[in-house]
Every structure is written in structure tokens, then in C-alpha cells.
Amino acid sequence: MSDTKEPTLPQSSAAPGADLNRRDFLGQVTIGALGIAGLGSVAVTYQFFSPNVLFEPATQFRAGTPDLYPIHSVTYLQDQQVYIVRMPEGFYAVSAVCTHLGCVTQWKEEAQMIACPCHGSKFKPDGIKIEGPAPRPLPHFGISLTADGELLVDKLQGVKNTQALRV
Amino acid sequence: MATNIAALLETLRETKVWKSIFRRGPANSNRTRSIAVFGNLFLHWMPVKVREKALQVRASYYLGSISLFLFLVLLVTGILLMFYYHPAAPSAYRDMKDLQFVVSNGVFLRNLHRLAAHLMVFMVFAHMFHVFYRGGYKPPHEFNWVVGVVLLLVTLFLSYTGYLLPWDQLAFWAVTVGTNIISAMPVIGDKIKFLLLGGHIVGENALLRFYVLHVVILPLAAFVLIGIHFWRVQKDGGLTVKPKDSDGK
């Protein structure tokens, strides 16, 4: 019966690697060294392909003084791809990039909705999804006032869509 | 006249230059023909003997050959287009327009490249369907079927990377949408998108990366894989032969 067979124990009497001759040892060292060098090359190639400096639009920007935006208005800032939305409760900074596949949406004044030209997603001015393939509402960015009274939007800071800036 | 040419050939065969290049006599027996195939860089990896059935011409036989022909057309027209195209943001679109309206025969070359690319995608798919429905993926052709699938993917990536190069609105949004699809991949999606674009948006880095992929890396991959693909067709005993066909029909 194979299941009653004693498991073969490692030969503890011999020193580890005693049966390794010089040729095998050097062979294993070579393979190990080549392996380490190979992994290192993959790592440095990965680093090489990840740019350290990007010439992309700034993620933090000033959007002028609050009185530029009338109440119940949606203003599209083209360079930053952000809507500055002013409602009676305050200011929102809503991303203009569709959450479906990254197309830039448009504010339709007459229909009072944000619409995506690529695949027909529709959103309310506060970014809530009305319909379409978009899986999520448009994200809101952090918006604050600078010391000299200008709006400051930070695209790296996501905030809840109920959080408005009161001015 | 014919005897003159034969005599001329005979004289040429006697010259030192001819002998230094070919190092063999005329290929007029099975043995000398084998030596001719073995001694030629472009033929030595082909089998010395091929079954006659493998070379029979059928209507669908051409789908793979047409794909290869279109690849060669794309290679030639693509290299010619490279002489006028700068893969940088301010000039890429202008160069494309220059090719259309300023460069002599530029619009012909550009459209030939574009149409051949569309056609190649269609032909590669048609070739794949034909091989699939004829059972060409069955032993001993499994490995070559896998090479073919990789070649299909390389063709699609070539198409996709070439699509960005005109640097117009269509190109920009197609690549924006395409790379967003990549970023939907769990865990590594955003990283792959970042590496592919060389940034977070479709910008100058993305244009240059797609250009290098389009003109160097992917064509080289396609070239090597096409070589393996054609070699395996012969080594696996020629094109797919149905058992029904093999009994002397």
C-alpha cells in the first residue's frame, strides 16, 4: 500500500550541499546572477517608461472671483475640463470628463443637463446621472476660497457631491 | 535565341563571381535541388519537399496570402510616409495635411496606407474564420493557430496605434476612449494606461509612444511571427487537408 509507506526523510547526516560539485555550484551561481540581473533590468525598464516630469495642465487652479458666476449657472472651463456650478446653496466644482470612457461632456443650457457626445450619457448640473452608459455620477472636486477672495479648485481632491462652498 | 541565353548562362556559371555566390552546379536533380534549397538563406528553412496538395490553389487559399501582401504594402507605404511625418504635437497634424495637399503623390500614399490597413484587418479576420471553419486549428496545427491569434492581435494593435498618428479629433478621442477601456482592468489597468500614454492624458508622450510602437516594435513582432507562421504551415505538412480529401481526391 502506497499510503502506509514511510515518507523519506532528508539525509540529515550529510552537510547541506555536500553533494554539490564545483561545476554545479558555479552553474547555479551563474543562473542566480542572471536571474537577478534580469529582474533588475525589468525594474529599471519599468522606471524608464514611467515619466517623472509631466507637461500636463495643473491639477490646482484659480477660477476667478465668486461674483463672476450668477446663481443657478453652470460655467464650463475648457482648459481645466471642469464645470463651476453655482446653486443657491453654494459652489460646486464638477468634473466635465464622462465617467464612462473619458469623453468631455457639454452643458446644454436649454435642456438644463450635462450631456456626453460620445455615448449619450446625461447628468444633472450637480453631476447626478440621469441616464446613459456612465457607471457613476460626475465626480466633485475640492473648491475653496483663497485669502484674496478667488475660487481655488483642486482636481486631486475629491469631495462628496453634497458638499458646497458657501460664499 | 534560346540557345544563346543557355550559352550565356553557361558562361556565367563558369565565372569566378557566380561560383563565389552560388557554390553549386545547376539544380537539375533531386540532390542538387536539395543543395540549392539548403544553401539559400531565404529558402533553407523551407522543407525541401512539399506535398502537391499543399500547393493546390483554392479560392480561399488567398486570404492569408492577401494579408501578407497587404502587410508588405503597408510596410512600403509606411516607410515612405515616415519621410514626411514628425511624431510631435504641433507638427503631426500639419504633416498629415501636407501629405494630403502639398507633397507630390502624398495623398495617394496616405490613402493606400489607410485603406490597406482597413483591408488587412478585414482579411486577417476572414483568414481566421476560414481556418476556423475548416478545422485548421486541429492537430498538428494547434501551435500555428496560436501564432495566428497573436498575429491577429498584433494587426489590431498596429491599426489602433496608427489611428492616433494623424493627431486629429477622431484620433484623440478614439485613443482617449480606448485607453480608458484599458484602465477598467482591475488593479493594473491604471498603471498600464499610464505607461502606454506616458502620462494621464493623451498628449505628446502618448503620440511618441504610439509612433514607436507603430513603426518599430509591432512591425518587428509581426515580421518575426509571420516568418514562424509561414514556416510552420510547411513544417506541419502544408495547408489544412481534410481527411475526406486525403484519399486521392
At B9, list the grid cell.
548562362
Give pLDDT, residue B213: 96
pTM for the structure as a whole: 0.80
Distance in Å, alpha carbon of B125 to nearest chain A alpha carbon? 26
Give pLDDT, residue B129: 93
Residue of B nearest to A119 (CA): B177
Give pLDDT, residue B247: 45
Name the burial class of residue B89, with classes exposed (0-12), middle (13-18) and buried (19+) by CB atoms within 10 angstroms of its CB.
Answer: middle
Instruction: Indicate if the alpha-carbon torsion angle B105, B107, B113, B116 is positive or negative.
Output: negative
Distance in Å, alpha carbon of A68 to nearest chain B alpha carbon? 29
Residues of chain B with pLDDT under 50: 240, 245-249
At B144, list the grid cell.
500555428
Q: Any bridge partners for residue A122, and if so which?
A: A115, A131
pLDDT string in tens for chain A (167-residue length): 455 566 565 555 556 666 889 999 999 999 999 999 999 999 999 999 999 998 888 889 998 888 889 988 899 998 889 999 998 888 999 999 999 888 899 999 898 899 999 899 999 888 889 988 998 899 999 999 999 889 999 988 888 888 888 87
Question: If residue A97 lies in a helix (H) or strand (E), which one and from where to where?
Answer: none
Contact B205 A118 (CB under 8 A): no
Give pLDDT, residue B246: 47
Testing the interface with B: which of A45, A46, A47, A54 to mutate, by most B Cβ within 10 A?
A54
Contact A103 B181 (CB under 8 A): no
Contact B180 A102 (CB under 8 A): yes
Give pLDDT, residue B248: 42
Number of H helices, E strands in chain B: 12, 0
Cα separation, B219 vs B149, whole angstroms: 16
Contact A102 B177 (CB under 8 A): yes
Interface of B with A in 156-185 (CB under 8 A): 173, 176-177, 179-181
What residues of B are in contact with residue A49 (Cβ under 8 Å)? Answer: 195, 198
Give the count of alpha carbons within 13 A of B142, CB side only. 3
Of the candidates B194, B203, B204, the beta carbon closest to that of A50 is on: B194
Give pLDDT, residue A58: 84
Give pLDDT, residue B23: 78
Model ipTM over 0.90:
no
CB pairs under 8 A between A and B: 31
Of the candidates B181, B194, B201, the beta carbon closest to that of A101 is on: B181
Testing the interface with B: which of A46, A53, A56, A119 to mutate, by most B Cβ within 10 A?
A56
Residue B80 to residues A61, B63, B163, B173, B232, Cα–Cα distance (Å):
44, 26, 17, 27, 31
Give pLDDT, residue B249: 37
